Structure 1
Amino acid sequence: MRVMAVTLLFHIRDKGVVKKLVYDNAGRKVSEEKFNDIKNVVLENTNARLPTGLYSNITLYVIDGNVDATRNNAILVVKKSK
């Protein structure tokens, strides 16, 4: 049985914070990461529905599967996990 993960990225633009939450197919939270001082989010080679929500100063990205997030100065680069 293959476990399908869903990744949620919340970019709170006015505070420069990105929260990455990963959930399994049963809806359980698998992991959580927080990145501070982020100006932009770049998505590379991901199955993303972008942006899913844009509410005031918060952008929500819903990405199928797990992703790796790497900080490059004030840019968060998000790539598909290998």
Structure 2
Amino acid sequence: MIEPVVTAWKDRHRSVSGHQSAYAMREIVNSIFYQGRTGCQWAYLPHDLPQKSATYYYFAAWRDDGTDQVIHELLRCQVREKAR
């Protein structure tokens, strides 16, 4: 559901150095959702999730450009549709 939004964002924000992320975007999204759901500090994300620096980079970028709101709206609509 949110993959097209994340993919489009990634296409618009290519790495300056030309290298791709060391983590799958799904893992980054899972890490952001985990932090939001649990409220844990960024430094205390579980070791099996991407590093804090990678996770927070995407969180801050999406917060600053509104991508997080687009994702939120998509998920909100999905939940409301299922509740009908």
* TM-score tier after normalising by the smaller chain length: under 0.3
Give TM-score scaled by structure 1 length.
0.24
**Greater strand fraction, Structure 1 or Structure 2:** 1
**Greater helix fraction, Structure 1 or Structure 2:** 2
Does 1 or 2 have the higher relative contact order (CA < 8 Å, sep 6+)?
2
Is the radius of gyration larger for structure 1 or structure 2? 2
Give TM-score scaled by structure 2 length.
0.24
